[in-house]
Structure 1
């Protein structure tokens, strides 16, 4: 056997010995970790019912608990129920002098537990919680770390459905502030105080996506409450959500504008097209009413007027006004027809009287010489007509207005009262609707900026 074979044999033997020593060291280390747990949490050595002492082990000072969290997701924000759902990793950290242990020259960084009932726990609860549950797949998502200096870190993943009172006056041009409140249930501020951990106490996942909202910013604050039983420590996180307007623009505002414009088509139809104008007005009115009821079905019944109520109410009024305009046109048309018939009867009677007078003159022509009079009598119709024309030419000319000039382009027969109502409506309805849009958008957009308080 050569020198090389001896070398490899010695190297292999040394490696086996090193691995065996490492395994023994690991076994010894785990045994020491078990011994440390038995020393600090053994029977009769630690009582989880007793609150830890305050700063520097002072018994009469409250226990300080630092809180931070990581927002993993926000699944929904419900306008009707006024609530939102969130999933977060919640962490608490405090110091318990009774849990100090030897770190074995820095090799034992911390001890890990999965049973929360082994140590004392703060009695924190979420005051605006409606529903909540822990995550237990595959194992319970919770751990407790005990550090050598007695510091305890508690971390758990939970899902919560929280109440979020909303002010919908500017809906859907609104911003909503939803809070997450945490408080002590039984320990007063003399015994327990919650504090936000310094340096980024709330973290939010980067790819947070909400279907109809955008999380603009958040703010941490304190909300201690006083009751008959004492003062209790409280923490809160205010989340500012901005509603995405593009969805409502496409689904509500543009369809309502289209319905209002379609109702104006009635002004351009002939007055005699009664079925077409009635069908168009009733159809647009029912469609607008259905649209309004569908919008209100997704919102809670509130005692104040919302921005969407103003919009749908005015649009419904315009559609209803177009239908009433046709009723007025129809009434005016029948009135004009009645007047035209009366004028025709009057002309027929005048013509009949003239024919009778002419026949009477023809019977007297045989006895006397017929001569046309040089001056007509005042009752003569031709003389009256000449007199009217002279009076018209004698009147001073009036300055024509723009509307009268435009209306004068229509033939005399078409410029009846009913036709003039249609022509005026073609101008008035779009102008008034445009003015309403100007006032509506300027008012609510400026109020949105003024009412933004955080």
Structure 2
């Protein structure tokens, strides 16, 4: 027997087996079965459709697209009284071939937040169909879903994102089709947390409710099953790489308070270096963090650090200005006094030696010359400009040493109370 004949016989056998399976499955359906007509439970009650889903993997949380990519097992069950089950009795689950779904009425459920949904497939689609006697169908499938998840980053990196999963019927109102949770409503695999290094993951499911996302709907309310995927960002790494280093650079700028004001190059270089480092951190973090038109928590923190370093630089600028004023006032006072002393101590030119000698021996009357300006005020003791400026310099120095760290401490209390609440 050649290879071509063997292949033909193999394909024929597979087709016969498939046809046999399909024939066995189709025996459950009456000859007049119409898959476009929904089943009608006795008594006119709504069709009860049980739903549940379990999240197997979370592949990606994309904050730029505001979406979550995950895989999940989706299950639904409903009663089909038109099935011809024959001798099938008992409580056990009877597995059926998936070809039955091509000929069976299926609830038209969909997930509102889905951007993209794909069925897993290797040789056949990864799905299963079971019959729970006498007439309950259980369908299960593995799906890869990208969910739209509106996100807010005002508290980044302390943000908590809540992604909704809303399952409902597309065309049937709650009077015709009503959802209910199955025994296991919604859960996630225990390994999901390990798949998300940046987030803590957990699920919160809600009771079945009527349609609530539109206020002025022109059509009848539908039954809704909703669950929340909660993603709480882990911020320990941000504390170690952003918050602690930036606070230390601010403290390094404060070390200039304990350097003499006369050391202008060293004190200025210390403050400017700290300022440029914090600004560089702000620029680098801005490229990695989500782009928003509003301030995030990390932006507020880095802006606060920059402002406090700038305050330190301004404080030193004020001190240098006061010192320059001191030197100018000293020159205004001392130079006129030196000039006056020089005029009184210099002998007059001309005249005889005797006249100069008598003038030197006889006491001179008090000079009636007048010194104007700041020198006169300084000489009269009315005020002392250099001493007063020294006092101002001491006040500014103490205000910087105490006031700027105190502002940072108060801002820390407010910041952490607001963003960690």
Instruction: Tell me if both proteins adopt one fold, taking TM over 0.5 as the criterion.
Output: yes
String of CA shifts for 1:283-329, please: whole Å, max 9, x gaps: 433332333344444224144x4433332222121122223333333
> Residue 262 of structure 1: which of 252, 274, 286 is its match?
252
Alignment match, 2:80:
96
Whether contact under 8 Å (1:130, 1:160) holds in the other structure is yes
Distance 1:84 1:141 in 2: 22
Residue 49 (str. 1) matches residue 24 (str. 2): no
Indicate how the Cα distance of structure 1 residues 357 and 299 shifts in structure 2: closer, same or farther if over 3 A, else same: farther
Distance 1:421 1:376 in 2: 43
The Cα shift of 1:274 comes to 4.4
The Cα shift of 1:266 comes to 3.7
Whether contact under 8 Å (1:212, 1:247) holds in the other structure is no
Distance 2:209 2:155 in 1: 27
Q: Mind listing any 5+ residue stretches in structure 1 that lack a counterpart?
A: 1-29, 393-411, 449-454
Distance 2:174 2:136 in 1: 20
The Cα shift of 1:128 comes to 1.0
Residue 220 (str. 1) matches residue 206 (str. 2): yes
Whether contact under 8 Å (1:50, 1:120) holds in the other structure is yes
Alignment match, 1:429:
404
Alignment match, 1:87:
71
Residue 61 (str. 1) matches residue 45 (str. 2): yes
Indicate how the Cα distance of structure 1 residues 369 and 146 shifts in structure 2: closer, same or farther if over 3 A, else same: closer
The Cα shift of 1:170 comes to 3.2
> Residue 142 of structure 2: which of 157, 175, 179 is its match?
157
Whether contact under 8 Å (1:143, 1:155) holds in the other structure is yes
SS of 2:40 mapped into structure 1: coil
> Residue 27 of structure 2: which of 33, 39, 49 is its match?
39
Whether contact under 8 Å (1:100, 1:147) holds in the other structure is no
The Cα shift of 1:91 comes to 0.3
Alignment match, 1:140:
125
Indicate how the Cα distance of structure 1 residues 161 and 41 shifts in structure 2: closer, same or farther if over 3 A, else same: same
The Cα shift of 1:425 comes to 1.8
String of CA shifts for 1:63-96, please: whole Å, max 9, x gaps: 2100011121233333443322222111000010
* Segment of structure 1 superposing worse, 99-108 or 346-355: 99-108
Alignment match, 1:12:
none
Whether contact under 8 Å (2:185, 2:205) holds in the other structure is no
Residue 180 (str. 1) matches residue 155 (str. 2): no
Indicate how the Cα distance of structure 1 residues 176 and 93 shifts in structure 2: closer, same or farther if over 3 A, else same: same
Distance 2:413 2:95 in 1: 66
Indicate how the Cα distance of structure 1 residues 354 and 34 shifts in structure 2: closer, same or farther if over 3 A, else same: same
Spell out the pairing of 1:381-400 with structure 2 (5 A cutoff).
none
| TM-score, with structure 2 as normaliser | 0.77
Whether contact under 8 Å (1:268, 1:422) holds in the other structure is no
SS of 2:28 mapped into structure 1: helix
Q: Mind listing any 5+ residue stretches in structure 2 that lack a counterpart?
A: 1-17
Indicate how the Cα distance of structure 1 residues 335 and 51 shifts in structure 2: closer, same or farther if over 3 A, else same: same
The Cα shift of 1:151 comes to 0.7
